[in-house]
Structure 1
Amino acid sequence: MSFQQVIGQMPEEVYERLKTAVELGKWPDGQPLSEEQKATSLQAVMAWQAMHLTNPEHMNIGADGEIVMKSKSELKRQYRDEEEIIRIDLNH
């Protein structure tokens, strides 16, 4: 099975765990990632994002392999358009 096939079949839960491990530099059990594990996990996270994310966050890898960065105005528009869950007036 090729790397692309493995990434294509990777469940989102596995992607989230790899992403967290790369961000923190350690596995959920507290073991630090080796340099090789960091590099491989980061590559897998970036490939998964390129294949599966259709609405990139602030900065991700797009389907074409390029880094996608949203401007401040794009982020404001994105969050303004999302459904509001609750609004609380703290002045009362």
Structure 2
Amino acid sequence: MPFEELLNTLNPHIVGSLKRAIELGKWPDGKTLTDAQRRRCGEAVARWEQHNLPPASRAGFVPRKETPCGNPSADERKINWV
């Protein structure tokens, strides 16, 4: 089965199982994931999440600061004299 077809068969339960296998480094039956399997599972999870979840719910999401870099907050503008 081509990878694109496989992605279309994924659902939240399967993606959760893939994430767990990646985290533990082994399949549910106890067999160790190879490096290639881990990479492929990670790619499948990332691509599925990109198409099915909002950004804040995806693995690895890092929220932006509330103030843009060019406009520091009041706390960042304070000068401490030593």
* TM above 0.5: yes
Q: 1:13 to 1:58 in 2, by over 3 A?
A: closer
Structure-2 residue corresponding to 1:52? 52
Q: Higher Cα Rg: structure 1 or 2? A: 2
Kindly provide the CA deviation profile for residues 27-71 of structure 1, in whole angstroms up to 9, marking residues without a partner as x: 1121110111111111101111101112523744xxxxxxx4125
Distance 1:58 1:41, change over 3 A: closer
Residue 27 (1) aligns with residue 27 (2): yes
Q: Please show how residues 1-40 of structure 1 align to structure 2 within 5 Å.
A: 2-40=2-40
Distance 1:59 1:40, change over 3 A: closer
Paired AA for residue 24 in structure 1: L
Number of aligned positions between the proteins: 66
C-alpha distance in 2 between matches for 1:69 and 1:33: 27
Q: Does 1:70 align with 2:63?
A: yes
Give yes or no for contact 1:27–1:33 (8 Å, CA) kept in 2. yes
Aligned counterpart, 1:65: none
- Give the match for residue 73 of structure 2: none
- Structure 1: runs of 5 or more not aligned: 61-67, 74-92
Give the TM-score, by structure 1 length: 0.57
Higher strand share: 1
* Residue ranges of structure 2 left out of the alignment (5+ in a row): 67-82
Structure 2 length normalisation: TM-score? 0.63
Moved over 6 A (4+): none
Contact 2:49 2:58 in 1 (8 A): no
